[in-house]
Structure 1
Amino acid sequence: MKKSILFVLLVSSCILGLEAQEFKVITSVESIVPNGLGRSRIINAMEEKDYKEFTSVQTEEDNTRNKSDRGEIRVKNFEETKLLNFYNLGGIRFQNIAANDAIITSMINTMISDGWELAFVTSAVESEAGKGDGQGIFIRRYIFKR
């Protein structure tokens, strides 16, 4: 009897473990453009896309392009949460960084309370870095799973 109960529990846990996972990516973009001229936001797509619709196979024999229009890739339904820019007229603004951290923390906590788990965070900086560089963004992608 104990063996059959143990077997049922083992099979049940295996079945539950095979459940598909769902992922969600939310992106924050923080401007590093001086004088507060940039735009900083958290972007959350509110619709799904199937990457296969926009994928083509390139071979030496057949160099065909996907026939879909690039405009079809665009997501028109998304949330846009305002963030503050890193810089203002006086230079780097630490209060803005702290405010952005508070908003991003709130977003993460909301996602977790909605059943998501923060799986990964990736970040990058894009800057022209040439003479008189006044362009740039700091981007982070938050990858959630459930």
Structure 2
Amino acid sequence: MKKNFLFIAAIAVGLISFSFINKEDSNDNKPAQVEYKVVTVVESIVPNGLGRSRMISANESKDYKEFTTVRSGDKDKDEKNKSKRSEIRVKDYEETKLLNFYNLGGIRFQNIAANDAVMTSKVNTMIAEGWELAFINTGVESSGGKGDGQGIFITRYTFKRSI
């Protein structure tokens, strides 16, 4: 009986140890390389439907290091980044039109449903292309007070996939 128990325990320990093997960790224990892509949705919350709403996705990449200044606290050793705004701009991107949250009658729920359908289509397409939805971040800048009448709702979808 004790031998059977030890045999079953050994099998259980073996099976459990195999469950901790990282499937992405192949090729001589090198971690799998991934790439990330961000899709940003900007939805207008300007009253009367006067704003613009879009889904934006860059088709080109930029190296942040080209536009970064490292500060050391010693003004004499710090080198100012000399990059121009035109060098930072991305000209190759997708811009998908969306509907505004408001029209002349107020909030338009049909527009929200339409935007959801378009965004879902984008997410489903990217998943079919091998991307995995990794993170979603949202933010809102609503009216800044009397007479402002401005506002946007931003959602950033961060996708990743193995290279």
- Give, in whole Å, the separation in 1 of the partners of 2:159 and 2:22: 28
RMSD: 1.8
Match for 1:25 among 34, 38, 42? 38
Gaps of at least 5 residues in structure 2 are: 1-20
1:108 has 2:135 as partner:
no
1:35 has 2:18 as partner:
no
Match for 2:65 among 48, 52, 76? 52
Structure 2 vs 1, CA of residues 142 and 12 (structure 1 numbering), >3 Å: closer, same or farther?
closer
Once the two structures are aligned, what percentage of the paired residues are identical? Answer: 66
- Give the length in aligned residue pairs: 137
Q: What's the CA shift for 1:58?
A: 1.3
| 1:74 aligned residue | 89
Q: What's the CA shift for 1:63?
A: 3.5
Q: Is the 8 A contact 1:127 1:133 kept in 2?
A: no
1:14 has 2:21 as partner:
no
State the TM-score, normalizing by the size of structure 2: 0.79
Q: Is the 8 A contact 1:124 1:139 kept in 2?
A: yes
Structure 2 vs 1, CA of residues 87 and 119 (structure 1 numbering), >3 Å: closer, same or farther?
same
Structure 2 vs 1, CA of residues 141 and 12 (structure 1 numbering), >3 Å: closer, same or farther?
closer
Q: Is the 8 A contact 1:28 1:41 kept in 2?
A: yes
- AA matched with 1:47: E
Q: Is the 8 A contact 2:39 2:158 kept in 1?
A: yes
- Give, in whole Å, the separation in 1 of the partners of 2:67 and 2:135: 25
1:137 has 2:152 as partner:
yes
State the TM-score, normalizing by the size of structure 1: 0.87
- AA matched with 1:28: V
Q: Is the 8 A contact 2:37 2:158 kept in 1?
A: yes
Summarize deviations over 1:111-143 as a string: whole Å, max 9, x none: 000000001100000124311331000000000
Summarize deviations over 1:34-59 as a string: whole Å, max 9, x none: 11110000000010000111111112
Segments of 4+ in structure 1 off by > 4 A?
10-13
